[in-house]
Amino acid sequence: MPRRGAVWLALWTVYVVWGSTYLAIRLGVRPAHGAALPPLLLAGARFTLAGALLLAYDVRRPAPDGKPDPLGRRQWLAAAVVGLALLLGGNGLVSIAEERIPSGVAALVVGTVPIWAALLGAAWGRERVSLRHGAGLLLGFAGVATLVAGTGSGRVSPTGVLIVLGAALSWAAGSVWSRTAPAARRPLVSTGMQMLCGGAGCFAAGLGGGEGGRLHLGAVSTSAWLALAYLVVFGSMLAYTAYIWLLQNASLTLVTTYAYVNPLVAVLLGALFVHEALTLRTVLAAALIVTGVGLLVGRTARDTEEPVASSEGAAPSATDRPAQPVGCVQGTPRAPETCP
């Protein structure tokens, strides 16, 4: 068994780094000074670089059990579907929305991913919606409604919130489908493939949407470049590796606590570093959404408390998968976080 200190170090890495990716995106698309990086081109650069680095590191390493791990057309097609759903539809939309709404609010709305996953699982006949599920769904959506309803202090752009809800739905759909997708067995290889495909999709969508005309490399602020570097190294590589290690060395109930902590970290960092308003409305919405997620994620974690991997680096089976991550529009062992 790993030392308790190592487990908590990895867990706090996931807490802080995944929670901080929302602030990093905010600094990339809305720096205080100088030009920004267009949102989809920012996401494309982040995931293409991170995916290439992950594959370069892990693709030549054998699977832990020594068995072949084919990387053929079926695996790349699955990686493309999951990568586009999670990283273009998920993280890309979050990046666009953060041009309009605070990073902390974006993190709270991304927190509805488990809610969408539960609804999609029920619609596809993979999950039964219990009374506990129903209460979690109602609380989560009540929290989102709190952010946009009425007038007064703390109300945010309904358009921005709708964009993030679309991101959460896309992330949830890709995550649910990934459970049975013919992905590579090595988690980091599968993640690298998805990041490359998703990053290419973000680049294509960004250039097709005219973001190339908004990119002026010489005028991009230093804070935007640093935000991109942070997202590549820490958000998409370090924290994800810590998450995979935790799945193999800690209880699932403990690991899934990040689902409650990440939105709160994002809200606090946004308030501290870019002076995003921490209003009573935001606090109430956070309480409703986090409680709703707790009802969903807590139940899932207890129902799947068996070890999720039998050896280091082995991909969990479909029946052993942990609860879908939050915002950390985040990830499963086959589906990386989009935190954001």
Tens of pLDDT, residues 224-269: 999 999 999 999 999 988 998 898 888 877 888 888 899 999 999 9
Q: How far apart are CA 315 and CA 333, in angstroms?
A: 7
> So what's the pLDDT on residue 221?
97
Q: What percent of the chain has pLDDT over 70?
A: 86
> So what's the pLDDT on residue 80?
97
> So what's the pLDDT on residue 241?
87
> So what's the pLDDT on residue 256?
81
- Tell me the residue type at 295: L
Confirm if 167 and 116 have CB atoms less than 8 A apart: no
Q: How far apart are CA 225 and CA 237, in angstroms?
A: 17
User: Which residue ranges in the chain fall short of pLDDT 50?
Assistant: 306-339
> So what's the pLDDT on residue 302?
55
Tens of pLDDT, residues 8-35: 999 999 999 999 999 999 999 999 999 9
Nearest to 227 by CA among 14, 36, 52: 36
> So what's the pLDDT on residue 329?
41
> So what's the pLDDT on residue 43?
97
- Tell me the residue type at 99: E
Q: Is the dihedral of CA 236, 194, 213, 29 positive or negative?
A: negative
Neighbours of 120 (CB within 10 A): 17
> So what's the pLDDT on residue 231?
97
> So what's the pLDDT on residue 197?
97
Q: How far apart are CA 101 and CA 158, in angstroms?
A: 9
Nearest to 309 by CA among 181, 186, 191, 189: 186
What is the pTM for the complete model shown?
A: 0.85
